[in-house]
Structure 1
């Protein structure tokens, strides 16, 4: 991390950008489960990436 900082690379900004990009591809709940974040945290990233929850395709659960 210190080498990145010496080069002027903001690691947190890169991580947040990656999370924003991922939130455009995967719904927040699934992404939270995959990465170990809370759903609320991923909803915040999705909102910052301007991805409304209504734009995610519906996930159909099999009937039991």
Structure 2
């Protein structure tokens, strides 16, 4: 389920990382981010400082970023 996928992503991200921000930043750029709920993706964005993931601004849903 979604909780298991989150845990798997965090464990995967934790290998070789020393800070929570590194882990969250890693999760923000993993393909697995697509299975997260919108609220969880937004939380990752805020905590990691990675507000734009895959061309979408996760904090301001009304603004789309084009590469």
The TM-score, its normalising length taken from structure 1, stands at 0.36
Structure showing the higher strand proportion among its residues: 2
Larger radius of gyration: 1
Higher-RCO chain (CA-CA 8 Å, sequence separation at least 6): 1
Structure showing the higher helix proportion among its residues: 1
